[in-house]
Amino acid sequence: MTPLKEQLRERDRRVAELGQYEEKLELKEGDPIRFELLYSKIVQSVTSAHEVARLVSASPMSRELGEIIFGLYTPEGDAVALSRGLLIHVHTMSRMIKWMIQHDYEDDPGFAEGDHYFNNDPYIGGAHCPDQMIVTPIWWEGELVAWAGGLTHTPETGGSEPGGFIPFARSRFDEGLFLPCVKVAEKDRIKRDLEVLVERGIRSPVFWLTDNRAKITGTQMIRAEVKDLIRQFGAGFFRKACREYIEDTRRAALQRVRKVLHPGVYREVGWRGSVMPGSETLLHGPVTMTVARDGRLVLDYEGMSPAGKHPFQGTLPTIEGLVMNIAIQHLFYDLKHNEGVLLAVELKVPEGSAGNPPSIFYPTALWGITYGAGLASGQAISRAYYANGYREEVHATSALSTAYTAGGVDQYGRPFGAHNFEFAAAGLFGTAVMDGLDTAGVEFNPEGEMGDAEIWEQILPPVYLAREIHVDGGGYGKYRGGNGVLSLYLVSGTKDIDVGGFGAAPIYSAPGLMGGYPAGALYMWIGSRTNVRQLIAEGRPIPSGEGEDPAYPDFVRMVGGHWELIPGHNRIGRPAREGDLFTAMTGDGGGFGDPIERDPELVRRDLENRVTTAWTARHVYCVAIDPESLRIDLEETERLRRARRDERKRDGVPAPEYKARQRELLLRGELAKPAARMYRDVLGSSEAFRREFCQFWELPDGWEPVDPDREPEEAA
């Protein structure tokens, strides 16, 4: 057995037997100042790498949006420290290093100083083909003492559709070029033949290739800095300290859970949907979170839909990364961000599920249901905070992310393919104490940017006619969800372009919490044969967004042509012509609390800022306000709200009565296909869910839902 493999096995044994990463924190206790000083210098080194490397890349994803992260790892591949940035990938490089060790890479091809290994196989580490990482070993006096790693998200992978997010991928082979743990540089020199592979393998290779230079720049910076630190602190101190940082986090994380979360069992459900034509299926992403009195946190995804031939599933490393990401942001934000976080949380992801597919052939381009379940875990944590009175940490769900994709020949006459990624500035969740922030961020990259419109216009041929706050996008509530962005694009400067989009399914996109509504469904509009250029030439008004009525938006009203609505935001790229218009949106956050408890003054402020409409003010918030003067009629508001409560008492039915009706519907098999397929899949794969389902509806043992895909003759 190779030395590293032995070391990794010993690490696993230690963790399994002792339940600890390191038995004694001798350095932390014996020399705390030196201990913390070294850690701050390690964090400085990964942060410097992040800041410098993003400027080396020509990809807007790294450069503008900050979809990039760097980390330092132990020889066995456990994360010691991470930079800011694309937080969801805190764990993925760790997985990659361990995979190489387990597969005897130490013997062949070997881990020499100056070797740089690349991976974008999500079953090894990452969420999907665009997540690309490079790691390099750090040697000191003949010993591999650490690894430096960097990860970027590239906007093009050479898949069956441009842009890497392939909404209709049926298998891994639709997703693009995978290079699983391939040595891309030796002696710090990038291998030319592998660059040619990328140049000829994908549509816009410049992003991928310059991202590689960025990552190699960053990892070399970390390597140099670590060697300097070893000179200053000594190799023994460095090695032991790295292990203690992880154990320190693990212990602090347990203590944090014990302190802030109320013990109990929590349950939330996230949803996504596969929109594969002919087999549209809702996907189930439940989570049961148990907070034990001793601080153990168990997240169990039993009941998750089984894997299928669609791209809305993720890999085990993805769900691990998501949980670390959520836990770091909502619970362990001020601890040392490293492997210790994951050691404090127990994860149960059923084998064969869409969060742990049975083989590598299942595509993961949109890893949607793992994201849905991951965000649901954040809601469970929120409830546990609420129960202990920490309202400032309680929130609904953040946005489901969407954008457009395009490919063809760009405005410079070059072949191109990429996705836009404004969704790094989606609407955030409503919280228990304030509204969600508009156009703020996404949970997987809390510091992400949307990128300047002018930069996107350099990268992709469509130009912006509008980039507006998505009015009324956030879920309604006492505290509303943040509004995302809706952009209106004009196809320009090219005669060869396919425009598509990716999203989820026509479902409510971000659930609300404790009485708050979810954000609405996502959608895309495509306008062809429009007269917009004529309007511009004649100096007549052109639309600047959706306007007051989403059912009949300004762009449809003001611009002639044929308009097509794409519910769910998924569209295979189809040819567009100069003068065509289309929209894309980033997604909005869920709302918190009963909307009729919203302070009328907040509604007035939203109207003043034009982020809500008079219709919503009256119909949802029951606030009587003059749309011109913005004067609130408090008496009439009170009357409207009383009337809404009366309506609820009139239209709401006692739960037992509601259940009896629903049971009848189930027994008659009256379910639409996307839901019926979900029940069939999940009841067939999860005994626990079947028990719970049959018990709730008082169904006999062995009850089977009607097969929605059975031919009528067969059924007869």
287 C-beta neighbours (distance < 10 Å), count:
26
Q: Which stretch binds other proteins (CB under 8 A): 46-54, 111-119, 403-411, 664-672?
A: 664-672
State which of residues 79, 185, 260, 307 lies at the interface with other proteins (CB under 8 A): 260
Which residue, 286, 616, 384, 330, is CA-closest to 477? 616
Question: Least Å distance between CB 510 and other proteins?
Answer: 9
Q: Which stretch binds other proteins (CB under 8 A): 4-12, 43-51, 263-271, 340-348?
A: 263-271
Question: Least Å distance between CB 49 and other proteins?
Answer: 26
Tokens for 443?
Answer: 């949970």
State which of residues 264, 493, 547, 561 lies at the interface with other proteins (CB under 8 A): 264
- When asked if residue 390 is in the footprint of other proteins (CB under 8 A), the reply is yes
State which of residues 277, 654, 700, 702 lies at the interface with other proteins (CB under 8 A): 654
Strands 415-419 and 403-409: antiparallel
Q: Which stretch binds other proteins (CB under 8 A): 149-157, 227-235, 260-268, 622-630?
A: 260-268
Q: Which residues, 671 to 710, sit near other proteins by CB under 8 A?
A: 671-675, 678-679, 692-693, 696-697
- When asked if residue 555 is in the footprint of other proteins (CB under 8 A), the reply is no
Question: Least Å distance between CB 391 and other proteins?
Answer: 5
Burial class (CB in 10 A: 0-12, 13-18, 19+), 160: middle
Distance CA 551, CA 523 (A): 12
Q: Which residues, 368 to 387, sit near other proteins by CB under 8 A?
A: 383-384, 386-387
State which of residues 191, 227, 239, 267 lies at the interface with other proteins (CB under 8 A): 267
Could you tell me which residues are beta bridge partners of residue 524? 566
Pick between residue 334 and residue 711 the one whose CB is nearest to other proteins. Answer: 334
Question: Least Å distance between CB 191 and other proteins?
Answer: 46
Distance CA 164, CA 610 (A): 35
Question: Least Å distance between CB 647 and other proteins?
Answer: 8
454 C-beta neighbours (distance < 10 Å), count:
9
Number of residues that bind other proteins (CB under 8 A): 89
State which of residues 393, 410, 606, 681 lies at the interface with other proteins (CB under 8 A): 393
- When asked if residue 271 is in the footprint of other proteins (CB under 8 A), the reply is yes
- Tell the residue number behind the tokens 């069956």, with chain if given: 160
Distance CA 229, CA 216 (A): 20
Cβ neighbours for 27, distance < 8 A, ≥ 6 positions apart: 34, 35, 237, 240, 241, 244
Q: Which residues, 469 to 488, sit near other proteins by CB under 8 A?
A: 476, 478-479
- When asked if residue 297 is in the footprint of other proteins (CB under 8 A), the reply is no
Q: Give the chain's radius of gyration (CA, Å).
A: 26
Tell me the DSSP string of 622-646: ---B-TTT--B-HHHHHHHHHHHHH
Q: Which stretch binds other proteins (CB under 8 A): 37-45, 96-104, 526-534, 667-675?
A: 667-675
- When asked if residue 133 is in the footprint of other proteins (CB under 8 A), the reply is no
φ/ψ of residue 295, rounded to 5: 95, 0
Q: Which stretch binds other proteins (CB under 8 A): 134-142, 196-204, 215-223, 508-516?
A: 508-516
State which of residues 411, 531, 567, 618 lies at the interface with other proteins (CB under 8 A): 567
State which of residues 17, 142, 293, 537 lies at the interface with other proteins (CB under 8 A): 293
Question: Least Å distance between CB 596 and other proteins?
Answer: 7
Which residue, 420, 564, 428, 591, is CA-closest to 508? 591
Return the SS3 of 271: strand
Number of residues assigned to the chain: 716
Q: Which residues, 56 to 95, sit near other proteins by CB under 8 A?
A: none
- When asked if residue 99 is in the footprint of other proteins (CB under 8 A), the reply is no
Cβ neighbours for 534, distance < 8 A, ≥ 6 positions apart: none
- DSSP run (H or E) holding 571: strand 571-576
Pick between residue 357 and residue 516 the one whose CB is nearest to other proteins. Answer: 516
Tokens for 334?
Answer: 């001020």
Strands 182-186 and 143-153: unpaired
Tokens for 37?
Answer: 């000083």
φ/ψ of residue 599, rounded to 5: -60, 120
- When asked if residue 506 is in the footprint of other proteins (CB under 8 A), the reply is yes
Binding map of other proteins across residues 614-643, x = CB under 8 A, - = no contact: -x---xx-----------------------
Tell me the DSSP string of 130-163: TEEEEEEEEEETTEEEEEEEEEEE-S----SSTT
Q: Which residues, 298 to 337, sit near other proteins by CB under 8 A?
A: 334
Pick between residue 67 and residue 280 the one whose CB is nearest to other proteins. Answer: 280
- When asked if residue 187 is in the footprint of other proteins (CB under 8 A), the reply is no
φ/ψ of residue 101, rounded to 5: -65, -45
Pick between residue 405 and residue 583 the one whose CB is nearest to other proteins. Answer: 583
- When asked if residue 434 is in the footprint of other proteins (CB under 8 A), the reply is yes
Binding map of other proteins across residues 571-610, x = CB under 8 A, - = no contact: ----------------------xxxxx-x-----------
Pick between residue 154 and residue 616 the one whose CB is nearest to other proteins. Answer: 616
Beta-strand ranges (E) seen in 471-555 are: 485-490, 497-502, 523-528
Pick between residue 13 and residue 645 the one whose CB is nearest to other proteins. Answer: 645
Pick between residue 409 and residue 671 the one whose CB is nearest to other proteins. Answer: 671
Question: Least Å distance between CB 486 and other proteins?
Answer: 11
Cβ neighbours for 674, distance < 8 A, ≥ 6 positions apart: 273, 280, 281, 282, 505
- Which amino acid, residue 684? G
Distance CA 540, CA 562 (A): 20
614 C-beta neighbours (distance < 10 Å), count:
16
Question: Least Å distance between CB 380 and other proteins?
Answer: 8
Pick between residue 241 and residue 499 the one whose CB is nearest to other proteins. Answer: 499
- When asked if residue 557 is in the footprint of other proteins (CB under 8 A), the reply is no
Say if residues 405 and 500 touch (Cβ distance below 8 Å).
yes
State which of residues 552, 639, 688, 710 lies at the interface with other proteins (CB under 8 A): 552
State which of residues 551, 701, 711, 712 lies at the interface with other proteins (CB under 8 A): 551
Return the SS3 of 514: coil
Distance CA 196, CA 219 (A): 23
- When asked if residue 139 is in the footprint of other proteins (CB under 8 A), the reply is no
State which of residues 291, 304, 335, 343 lies at the interface with other proteins (CB under 8 A): 291
State which of residues 455, 463, 521, 640 lies at the interface with other proteins (CB under 8 A): 521
- When asked if residue 248 is in the footprint of other proteins (CB under 8 A), the reply is no
Distance CA 3, CA 519 (A): 52
Q: Which residues, 336 to 365, sit near other proteins by CB under 8 A?
A: none
Distance CA 532, CA 475 (A): 32
Which residue, 493, 584, 490, 576, is CA-closest to 535? 490
Pick between residue 199 and residue 392 the one whose CB is nearest to other proteins. Answer: 392
